[in-house]
Amino acid sequence: MRQMSIKKHLSGIGIVPQALLDGYVRYLRLEKSVTENTLDAYLNDLQKLLNYYADEGIDFRCVSLEQLSCFSALLRETGVSATTQKRVLSGVRSFYSYLLLEKEIEQDPTELLEGPKLGMHLPQVLSVEEIDRIEGVIDQSTPQGVRDHCIIEVLYSCGLRISELCALSFTDLFLEEGYIRVFGKGRKERLVPISRRAVEELQNWFTIRRQMEPVKGFEDVVFLSMRRRRPLSRISLFIFIQNYALAAGIKKKISPHTFRHSFATHLLEGGAGLRAIQAMLGHEKISTTEIYTHLDRSRLREEVLLHHPRNIKNETKG
């Protein structure tokens, strides 16, 4: 049964030569002396990584630290626990240690790859002013600038996951009614209100989008790559958002998911109930949404420390 399970994993990984995979299995068994359960887990995790490479058109021998960091971030964004993320990245490091040993690569790209910190993680959040600054540095005189400005506004206004935005289609838009249809994890459907500002941004983008000729099969996709005429890759979104944040002087480490966290936090601060936020984010469990209450309390503490007269006096004395 165990052999069948391993063969199943190996047969599902098509972008690595079979001989290399067989050698990796021997390396884990003989040199690393891993248990069969660990071997099975490592191969399963490797399959996740290589499926990601296949989706993004990445050569496993030429992967960069930035691309691996995007993979790590996507694990987190798809709801993988910190403990599981740590295990997956351990398997990734093991695979690249083997490739380096076999001289398949010259340098290990995982050397500086950071793993998740265990314990409660409060997500990074942008203020409204910071979001406006990021949007303000985008050159909207270019087609790409119009698209990117629209993407950021839709991410923030609707609290979408990066995968949900990339998969958004015209048939999911009900702009006159003021909402969009989103398919989240497990193709679970939800309806999310969309702001007037985001609708205006979409209308601006549609002027350009109608002139594009998508690759066959992607005619209904809202956001396309300007060059490839295919759906945007998640890596390209990560990169251009980080570049805009840098240009805007934002020092925080952000990703497309930061706008989702900001959406939820600003709703909570504005008085929205947890159940409503849970429905808009598509969280299956209310406990997942409750992290924003911790974040809200953390912000409240910072405000008290900053503005309470006792703290101001103490700072003056210091």
Residue among 87, 234, 266, 283 flagged as catalytic:
283
Closest to 222 in 3D by CA, of 268, 170, 187, 257? 170
CA dist 143 and 225 (Å) reads: 11
Closest to 267 in 3D by CA, of 293, 241, 245? 293
Residue among 24, 52, 98, 292 flagged as catalytic:
292
121 catalytic? Reply is no
Residue among 161, 209, 261, 266 flagged as catalytic:
161
Please check whether residue 123 is in contact with residue 291, taking contact to mean a CB–CB distance below 8 angstroms: yes
9 catalytic? Reply is no
Residue among 9, 147, 149, 257 flagged as catalytic:
257
283 catalytic? Reply is yes
292 catalytic? Reply is yes
Residue among 185, 188, 197, 308 flagged as catalytic:
185
Residue among 209, 260, 261, 266 flagged as catalytic:
260
Please check whether residue 156 is in contact with residue 131, taking contact to mean a CB–CB distance below 8 angstroms: yes
CA dist 13 and 43 (Å) reads: 9
| Alpha carbon distances (Å) from 208 to 147, 175, 202, 213, 237 | 8, 18, 10, 11, 19
Closest to 162 in 3D by CA, of 248, 246, 76? 76
| Alpha carbon distances (Å) from 287 to 37, 177, 278 | 30, 31, 9
Residues known to be catalytic: 161, 185, 257, 260, 283, 292
